[in-house]
Structure 1
Amino acid sequence: MRIPIAALVLGSQATAALKPWEISALRTFSPSGRPDSSPWSFINLTIADRNTYAATAPPPDASAPGIAATCFVQWPYAGDAYGREVNCTTTTTTTTPLSSSPPPEWTLTMLPTPGSAYASPLNDFMLRLTLTLKFAGAEDKYEGSARFALGPGQNLQGICSASGVCAFALRDEAVPVLVLQTRVAGGLLG
């Protein structure tokens, strides 16, 4: 049984004919805050884009196949996690997406959940993901956001121990989390 996943689109509507991005793994961690424990909280995720992008300008045979990435955000245990934009590590297997253009770039920004009484950077938060593709001096940029939360019908599970260590991950039945993306800049690629 699939749990309904809350995902929202930035912009007016999802870009037509694009398959949603797929988040196949996500986990969060927060240390106990005790002396000699790690000073870092973090989120780690894996995302894949199953779309193939083709240039609409010469050379017409240039294309970028599906692109995957891992993203890692860390912040001091007592610090603010929201608003940090981090570069993700692209893990696509092709070495020349869009011919000789620079490799695709993924970024991730952590955001508070609007209107949530229980917003937390560990178990009730939003992630905005951005994919930038460059070709022949121009670029296309796509964005999508998804919410991650604990509770009935939500997509996270986990626990906080008596020592204060907390760890959460995607529920098996929530995988993959689908993220609808919108083209926010460009138009060179189709």
Structure 2
Amino acid sequence: MKQTPLLLALTGTFFSSTAHSASPLPAWQVTVFNTHSPAERPGSDYSFFIRATISNPGSSSAPSTPASTANCTVEWTYPAQPYGTGYACTTEEADAAWTLELENPPGANYSSPTENVDARFTLVVRGAEEATTLSGTQHFEVGENLEGVCGGSGTCSWGLRDDSVPVLVEPTVIS
């Protein structure tokens, strides 16, 4: 391909603008993502859960975000589905409020939230004058970054693969 001055100028402008649009925020780290689905036997407890631990290492750049860690739990009972609701997470930092929302992955014909799910983490940082909202989504799927076991009764437990820890989530500023 012959490179012309115009092509070189456009290419330089593209790379320059994409370099400046990159988020100055450090990636969040998911160090725990455990799921459980119950046995499929009559009379069994049909309670499902997903538990996650996520950390924000903090950033002194704009927007400034203090370090925080949250533990999130989503529980539901069949036939209900956990999608589309923001579940509050617990944290010890008074100026940070985390939520976890589960989403059915795009294009999935069938998705069990405990085996194949997109997790949207949202962090609201309360500053002295205003609050900043950040959000980031990551995909969790058995065979990719989750592994575990299913028993003969149908009870399944999945967790992060050792070689996947931590799973990084790229946050973006929402407001």
Relative to the length of structure 2, the TM-score reads 0.80
1:78 is paired with a residue of what secondary structure? coil
User: Which residue among 159, 165, 168 is the counterpart of 2:149?
Assistant: 159
Q: 1:83 corresponds to which residue?
A: 84
C-alpha separation between the residues in 2 aligned to 1:55 and 1:159?
43
Deviation digits for residues 22-47 of structure 1 (CA, Å, limit 9, x no counterpart): 00011000111435533310000100
C-alpha separation between the residues in 1 aligned to 2:160 and 2:120?
17
Counting only pairs closer than 5 Å after superposition, residues 97-112 of structure 1 correspond to structure 2 as 102-112=94-104
| 1:65 aligns to 2:75 (yes or no) | no
Gaps of 5+ in 2: 1-19
Counting only pairs closer than 5 Å after superposition, residues 1-190 of structure 1 correspond to structure 2 as 16-53=23-60, 65-92=66-93, 102-151=94-143, 154-185=144-175
Q: 2:14 corresponds to which residue?
A: none
C-alpha separation between the residues in 1 aligned to 2:126 and 2:174?
14
Paired amino acid for 2:82: A
Q: Relative contact order, CA 8 A, sep 6+: which one is greater? A: 1
Moved more, 14-23 or 66-75: 14-23
Moved more, 34-43 or 137-146: 34-43
Deviation (angstroms), 1:105? 0.2
C-alpha separation between the residues in 2 aligned to 1:167 and 1:78?
19
Structure 1 residues 14 and 131: alpha-carbon distance in aligned structure 2, compared to 1, 3 A threshold? farther
Q: CA RMSD in A?
A: 2.2
Gaps of 5+ in 1: 1-12, 57-62, 93-101, 186-190
Paired amino acid for 1:133: V
C-alpha separation between the residues in 2 aligned to 1:53 and 1:133?
13
2:174 is paired with a residue of what secondary structure? strand
Between Structure 1 and Structure 2, which shows a larger proportion of helix residues?
2
1:178 is paired with a residue of what secondary structure? strand
Number of corresponding residues: 156
**Kindly, what percent of the aligned residue pairs are identical?**
36
1:43 is paired with a residue of what secondary structure? strand
Max Rg structure:
2
Structure 1 residues 139 and 65: alpha-carbon distance in aligned structure 2, compared to 1, 3 A threshold? closer
